[in-house]
Amino acid sequence: MKKRTVIFFLFIITCFSFAQKRFYKGNTHTHCFPRSIDVFNFSYTAERVVSDYKARGYDFLVFTDHEHFWDASGLSSENFTVISGSEIGIYLMDYGAHFTALGIQKQILGIGVSHQQLINTIVGQGGVAFLNHPRWSIMPVTAKQIIDDMKENLYHVEIYNAGIDSPTDYDTSLWDSVLTTGRLMYGVACDDSHKKSDQGRGWICVYASGLHPDTLIHAIRNGDFYASNGVVLESIVYAPDQITVRSRNGTSIRFIGSEGAILSTITEAEATYMIQGDEGYVRAEISNPSNQTAWIQPYMIDGSTDVDQGKWIGLPETNVLYQNYPNPFNQSSMIWFSLSQREYVTLKVFDVLGHEMAVLVNRWLDGGEHAVLLNAADLPTGLYFYRLTTPTFSCTRSMLLIK
């Protein structure tokens, strides 16, 4: 009983630290030696790549080596997350469309399957599929192919790939052509890194409550990010009747609608567009005199898809309890969960015998993502369970403390 009391108060004292959402900068298209067939610099190893991106101020990185999946999670650290992925095509040597498979669990081979079958396999592993560099001439993928051949599970396309595009030479017509049909598609920017000089040229900034891989992937899947090759945004507010964008270094904001039509241009760092209701969709491009641009995700007007109304970026569609990260752990770990709406929440910790060891949360919480820091410096090695319960949801996960 005395031992249980000590553990209970340890959790009560140390666990009530909730993470606030902010932007996390990352690259979703990264290669390294010797895992990619088109990286010829022997020193461009995964460890070197991670070190370079950390030094550039990035928060996370996705390795997407060609037709080759490997577990990159061991390169993560307290303030930098590495996510495993792969860049996959449907033909030998990838002479077909390329897709980033972000957050997959094992190797996927695309040979002998259709694009749709490949995407379905990626999503079936819990991953997210991106259409990569659609403007690369050797791998032409038209908007008609995307619409007609890949009708399910594809919601992301690279609108800026620094391996092909320059800051002033990019083409969003493919993106607009898909959006004009009423189909939701999120725009991604990346640097398609194969060498150090490729780094820092295109990225996404993900709005999330922390660097847990599941949290980042969840936000990316839901379009809770903006794409950029240099412009930094401070806020994006989607409301039922307007969109407001505020930037740190942008000087001009263009609001764009169906078929790429320019709806409004404002020469300021902050602008609001009042929605008329007949635009089909509204997105914004924010630029500056240094030829840098940021792209926000589209707001679908016609009701053809569920878009967050009146909230920052969006709420999760369902409640989710994520695996704590890191796990196993030896000092501290974060427990993340998402709420689709405001609910009364309890989060409890149990030992292997089912004894309630701590009540970490026991109150009303708003919809969105939340995180609790577990400081286990004084806990013994062992297996623990944590359970999230709301009036509409209950889920239990295990966590392993190893010292």
Q: In what order do the strands lie in the sheet with 368-375?
A: 320-321, 332-339, 368-375
CA–CA dist 182, 187 (Å, integer): 15
> Residue 201: how many CA atoms within 13 Å on its side-chain side?
21
DSSP3 helix / strand / coil % (the chain, rounded to 5):
15, 40, 45
Domain end call among 197, 229, 261: 229
Identify the three-state secondary structure at position 165: coil
pTM of the model: 0.73
CA–CA dist 121, 105 (Å, integer): 11
Total domains, the chain = 3
My answer on whether 182 and 33 are in the same domain is yes
CATH code, domain with 9: 2.60.40.1930
Domain end call among 196, 229, 262: 229
Domain span at 241: 233-311
My answer on whether 248 and 377 are in the same domain is no
Print burial letters for 65-74: b (CB count within 10 Å at least 16), e (below 16): bbbbbeebee
Domain end call among 229, 252, 274: 229
- How does DSSP assign 255-304, residue by residue? EE-GGG-EEEEE-SSEEEEE--S-SSEEEEEEE-TTS-EEEPPPEE-SSS
Locate all alpha helices (DSSP H) within 27-129, ordered by sequence.
46-55, 115-124
Whole-angstrom distance between the N-terminal and C-terminal Cα of the chain?
23
Please write the tens of the pLDDT for every residue from 182-193: 889 999 999 999
Cα dist. 257→53, 81, 114 in Å?
Answer: 35, 35, 32
Which among 222, 210, 220, 218 has a CA at the least distance from the CA of 190? 220
Torsion of CA 87, 316, 155, 60, to 10 degrees: -30
CATH code, domain with 157: 3.20.20.140
Question: Tokens representing 39?
Answer: 């990286």
- Pair 65, 31: CB distance under 8 Å: yes
**What string of pLDDT tens digits covers the 403 residues of the chain?**
233 333 333 333 233 334 457 899 999 999 999 888 788 888 999 999 999 999 999 999 999 988 788 999 999 998 999 999 999 887 654 456 688 999 888 888 877 888 888 888 988 888 899 999 888 876 656 767 777 788 888 999 999 999 999 999 999 999 999 999 988 999 999 999 999 999 999 999 999 888 989 889 988 998 999 999 999 998 888 877 889 899 999 999 999 999 999 999 999 999 999 999 999 999 999 999 999 999 999 999 865 333 333 334 445 567 888 887 777 877 777 787 888 888 899 998 888 888 887 888 888 887 777 777 777 777 788 898 999 999 889 999 998 988 7
CA–CA dist 248, 194 (Å, integer): 29
Please write the tens of the pLDDT for every residue from 31-60: 999 888 788 888 999 999 999 999 999 999
Question: Tokens representing 66?
Answer: 């060609």
